[in-house]
Each structure stands twice: as C-alpha cells, then as structure tokens.
Chains A and B, each alone.
Chain A
Amino acid sequence: MTGRNLPPLSLHVPEPRFRPGDAVDFADFDMPVAGAVARPEIGTAPAEMRDHSYAMVRVLDDQGNAQGPWDPRLAPETLLKMLRHMALVRAYDERLYRAQRQGKTSFYMKCTGEEATSIAATHALDYDDMCFPSYRQQGILIAREWPLVDMMNQVFSNKGDRLKGRQMPIMYSARQANFFSISGNLATQYPQAVGWAMASAARGDTRISAVWCGEGSTAEGDFHSALTFAAVYRAPVILNVINNQWAISSFSGFAGAEATTFAARAVGYGIAGLRVDGNDALAVYAATQWAADRARGNHGPTLIEHFTYRAEGHSTSDDPTKYRSAEESTNWPLGDPIARLKQHVIALGIWDEERHAAMDREVAELCKAAQRESEALGTLHDGLKQPFDSMFEDVFEEMPWHLKEQSQQMRDERKAAGI
C-alpha cells in the first residue's frame, strides 16, 4: 500500500552500552538481593515457577555470608575444595595462556571470571553423570581431578596427546571422566546431551547428563531442537547457559538479551528455568543440585542461566580492548567468583589470607611442574609430533582401501621428496 501516511520503518541493530575508552558505570544495575529468591520444591511444575527465569538466585551477600533458602550448607572441606579447584583452573589458564604467547601452541582459551560455572556445577553432580561441555569448561576436568599433564598434552598436541594431535587446543575428550569430546561447532552438544539423557532414562539408569553452551550459542538451531526434545521426553538433563555477556565481539544483545533473559528461553518450552549469579559458587552449586535432584526424580530438565562475565578475551586470537571497554571487567557488579568464595570461607573462620596465598603458590607450582612434564613430550612446533600415518586412523573403525591408498601415497611422495 503505497502513499499511506506512515513514518518510514527503521531497523533496530543492538549496540552494547560501552565501547573501548568508555567510562563504565553499572550504578543502574538492579542488584538482586542475596537470599531473596524462594527455592521451589523439586517437582514444581515449570508453569508455577516462571518468575525464577527472570529473578536471580544469589546466596553470597556483599559481606560473603550465605543467605536464604538456596544456601547449600556445604561442609567446610567441600567449600575449600571448590575454592582450590577454582584457583587451580585459574593458574592453569595463566600458565597455558603464557605458553601460547611463547609460541608453544596455536591457540588457548581462558575461563577467567567464569570458574564457578563449571567448578561448582561439577561439584554438585555425581562423578558418573555425563558432561557435554562447550569450549570453556576446563573447570569440569579440574573439578574431576583429571591429570593436568594429560590436559596439557592435548593443548600442546604433543606425543602424549591421546587425541593424536587432531583437535585444536582445549578441545579435550576424557571418556573416563564422563567428559564428552568437545566440538568447535557451537551448541551441537545440546541435542547430544539430551539424547544421552533420554537413553539413560529409557534404559532405567540413574545417571543424568549436563550440558553447557554460551549465551551467544543459544541462537543456534541445535539449542532449540534440544529444548524441544528435552521438554517432550522430560529428559533428565541440566541445560546450562553461560551468559558471559560476550560472544567474541558480539554482546549478548545479539542473542536476544535486550528483550528477555536466557533462562526465559525455558518458559516457552515448558521447562523449569533458573537464573543464577554465575559468580556466586554457592548459587551455582545450589541451582545445579536442585536441577540434578529434579532430573533424578523424573521431573525433567532444567535450564540454568549463569549470569557472569568473560573477564578475558574470547581466545588468544582476539583483543577485547578493540571492541569493549576495559572497565567493564574491573567494575563488574557481581565481582570475581574466587574472591567471593574466599571472602565467604574467611568469614566462616575456616580460611585466611595466609593460607590462600600459600594455596595460590601451590597451584601455580603444580601447573609449572605439570607443564615441565608435558613439554618433555613436546610442544606444537618442536617436532615431537604423532606419526604421520596416524592421520588416516580412526576415520572409520577399519581403514577402507581409499585411505590405505592415500596413506601409501603420502609416504611415497614424502620419500621421493626426501622428507
């Protein structure tokens, strides 16, 4: 209909609040009160707990005290173990980030600022629950006390790499730790985790699965297919969305954060949704425990949005100062997950600054020793690689003729060329 007296249409393209150089002020951040959110019964119908998708479960208050019904009341040794694992993964990240900068591997990704979202969550799961991680959940392996050397061997693609140097650094796989092989394609693990949980339920097992993706990846079709399946079959799965605000250089608005929360994605599917302070290890633990109990009780899946902040770049391949203000990280209103748990255990009187400093030194030493051990097996460019023939293995269970032929061709050509 031409000629109608209407204003021209305009397209809304989201824009983050702060860009490089901007002063960052989160004064208008509506800080949720620790302990204020009710804890529903495990079997509560999703329709009766929709508010939980828009609120935020917080346990630790500004003084580091645990508040409210979500306080998981963890034993001191559990709290200190979580703290240690978080410190260890941070030290591990530091070590390997530096190794990448020294040219010892091609790529690295830290989880700085997000440690609680995998460490505390894993502590709330059973060891034999199956984890389908995205690429920033090295904390799961740390929390399951997987050998650091084995992880580093993967990062260095060296002779000790069980994955035979096939995967980019950090794309771990550890079947014995019930840790799925990491894909670089986003959210593909979501329907897989649901399928695993459906299989467990169909077989009358007691194990559940948990899956992680970033808020940016919730835009992928796989995420929505997974939620449909999870809802339809009431799969015993915990669907974690790590909302760290940034997908490389795209802020969460490009995944829909301007319009709603990520936990609210659950509402449309009829899935229980929880939104938690992802920098509060106790809140993450409590939400995961709630979701795990719910899944084990045949009450179905839970979507948990972990509201956190990616304190470092996406990976070693991007420079975050080019697209966001450096002050965002320092002024982040929900603080740092390690500092907050530390404050809590000190407030409980089971920890102090001296012991914390000693622990930091100890985990740094552990990482250093592990790195020494791993580097003895080689780093990416030092020539201690897998045998060339291994490239053709594991494409199929048995090598078909065409791969045998290509393998032979490679050997012949290299021989002819004198290499």
Chain B
Amino acid sequence: MSDETRTMNMIQAINSAIDICMGRDDEIVVLGEDVGFFGGVFKATEGLQAKYGKTRVFDTPITECGIIGVAVGMATYGLRPVPEIQFADYIYPALDQLVSEAARLRYRSAGEYTAPITVRTPFGGGIFGGQTHSQSPEGIFTHVAGLKTVIPSNPYDAKGLLIAAIEDNDPVIFFEPKRIYNGPFDGHYDRPVQPWAKFAESAVPEGYYRVELGKARIVRPGDDVTILAYGTMVHVAQSVVADAGIDAEIIDLRTLVPLDLETIVASVKKTGRCVVVHEATKTSGFGAELSALVQEHCFHHLEAPVQRVTGWDTPYPHSLEWAYFPGPVRLGEALKRVMQD
C-alpha cells in the first residue's frame, strides 16, 4: 500500500477502491451487466476480471432482480458482493430484493443472516440520457429502513466512501453522479468541460483509506446561508456562490442515510437560512426530509423559509434537459429569495 497520490477521475477512483478491497478481502465479488471482460459501460470495473478472475468478477444476465437476489444469496453464503446496476434508472426490477430482502434480512432474522452488499449505480442527469438514463431515485431508498445511501461528489470521496461502504456490514446503495465521472460540472452546460485533473479532489491516495459513512463535509464555510447539496449539485452550488458573492456555507452531505444531522444543524443555527438542492423530483424527495429536519431542529434560528431547488415533478426530458436541471439560474433565484426574507 502506498500513501502516494495519483490524479484520478471518479471512475478511476471507484475502480481503485474496488481493486483495493478485492486485494484485501477475497470474499468480495463484483457482478453486473457488462462488468467483466468489458469492464463496465463506464469502465468502473476495468481490469478487475483480468486481475481477480472470472469467479470474482463476472458478467450477468440482464435481470436486475436476479443480480440483487443472487447477491443477497452470495452474501448469505459469506461473500461480500458489489453488484453494479448499469443505470439507476434500471434498478426498479430489483426493488423487492433491495427493499424487502437485503434491507430487512438482519432485522427479520434477528441478526442470523445479513446482506453486506454494496450496490453501485450511476445516477443523475446532465448527459442527455432522457427519462431512462438520468433519474435520481435516492429518495426511494432513503425511505427504506435498513438501507444506507451514499453519494460522492468527487474522486477522493468516491474512493474513500466506496471502501467504507464495501466494508460496511449493512446493505449500501452507492449512487455515482455520472455527469461528474470525468470532471466536476457547475451547471454551466455551455462552457467547456473541466477535467478532474485541474481540481484538488482528484489527488487520490493510491492505497487504502476510508471516508466514514455518515459524515458530511463543509465544502465552503460561510455565515449568510447554508446550502445542503450532494453529488453534482455540490459543484453547481460552489459556482453559484462564487458568482453571486454570497457568504454561503456549502455542505456536501456525502451520506444521506445515516445523515450527519449535527453538521447541518450547527450550520443552520449559525446562518439562519437554508437552501436544499437536489436533482431528483421535488415531491417526497430527500429535500423534504432535510427541510423537515431543519425546521424541527432549528425553528427558532430560521430567518426565512427553507427553500428547495430540485428537478421538476416531471419525467426527465431529453431535449429540454437544461430547463429541467436545477442549474445556476434556479439556485441563484432561490438564494435571492432566501436572503430577501
């Protein structure tokens, strides 16, 4: 193991995390559509089959229900599967196996059986994926008792969080914001893409390290308003705040369940204002949970109603992607509203 860092994009960081875990623990197996010889449609598992063999990294039939069901069975045997669902939009056939089986196995068997599986799945829009390659279904999973939900926003966190997720003894849904696989995206879709190499978070240790689940990161300290974000939206928030010249505190949640409420509450008590931003649809989205928690814990400190900036309550449109995406204009307007009150 080396402490030396290497410049990695998120794909490389994720690949490195799995590689390191597989090297340390031979019970870890990777399965999913196209993950074997080809290394995954996003190349996150590239080279792993050649290195660890076909019985530890293998392609599967196209049945997400089967992939997760088989992973639960493998976990029952004693393995630690890391299944990939090719796009989060495809995860629904596996919902019963995740919600009724993986999530509840420890509880229903009083600990006799557990499902230490980490489901990796690319999610989110901004890639012209239309309604079947752009969704952000995290709210469906945060609603389920027994699942952990993790969303990294940069290569360093992606590797450290994924290692922590794989080592966790509970089932984890690990959403990978695919728009920022190759570089952060600030929401200005008309500007050239910036590669990760230009950003500090791309300096990723080659060796083993963990970013603990349940710990948020203060991306930018500030006094005027708290912005709660995760995944791609962390970068949109940074860009908007820089342009608007507002002294906002930006918090990257990193893990939605378990949530780092302490960091959120301390921030909102300091700033008195809060904007929640996510790409997923608004109604019953995770922003609603955050908004409720903020009012429960910070009611007497709030100077203005909590604002939510989210995807619209429509399917994700193809050609109108940028009207749907909660980009800089919408976040800017929300910040204005919350600062006016």
Contacts and interface: CB of A to CB of B under 8 A. Distances in A.
Given A196-B76, A199-B78, A400-B258, A191 B108 contact: no
B113 A180 contact: yes
A250 interface: no
B73 A191 contact: yes
Given A175-B113, A222-B96, A228-B66, A192 B60 contact: no
A188 B108 contact: no
Contact of A229 (B56, B60, B110, B145): B60
B70 A222 contact: no
Contacts of A185: 96, 100-101
**How extensive is the interface on chain B, given as a class?**
35 or more
User: Which residue of A224, A394, A400 has the most chain B CB atoms within 10 A of its CB atom?
Assistant: A394
B97 A191 contact: yes
Contacts, number: 144
Interface string A182-220: 010100101111111111101100000100000000000
User: Which residue of B109, B111, B170, B261 has the most chain A CB atoms within 10 A of its CB atom?
Assistant: B109
Contacts of A209: 73
A189 to B, nearest CB: 8
A166 interface: yes
A200 B77 contact: yes
Contact of B108 (A171, A202, A225, A397): A171
A202 B56 contact: yes
A166 B77 CA distance: 23
B106 A397 contact: yes
Contacts of A171: 108
Interface of A: 130, 132, 162-164, 166-167, 171, 173-175, 180-181, 183, 185, 188, 190-200, 202-203, 209, 221-222, 224-226, 228-229, 232, 394-397, 400-402
Interface of B: 29, 55-56, 60-61, 63, 65-66, 68-79, 81, 93, 96-97, 100-101, 105-114, 145-146, 148, 168-170, 214, 257-259, 261
Given A183-B101, A222-B66, A229-B70, 17 more contacts: A173-B109, A175-B109, A181-B109, A181-B112, A191-B69, A191-B70, A194-B70, A194-B73, A197-B73, A199-B79, A209-B73, A221-B93, A225-B63, A396-B146, A401-B261, A402-B258, A402-B259
17 contacts: A167-B108, A180-B76, A180-B113, A181-B113, A190-B69, A192-B72, A192-B76, A195-B70, A195-B75, A196-B76, A199-B73, A203-B79, A228-B66, A395-B107, A400-B257, A401-B258, A401-B261
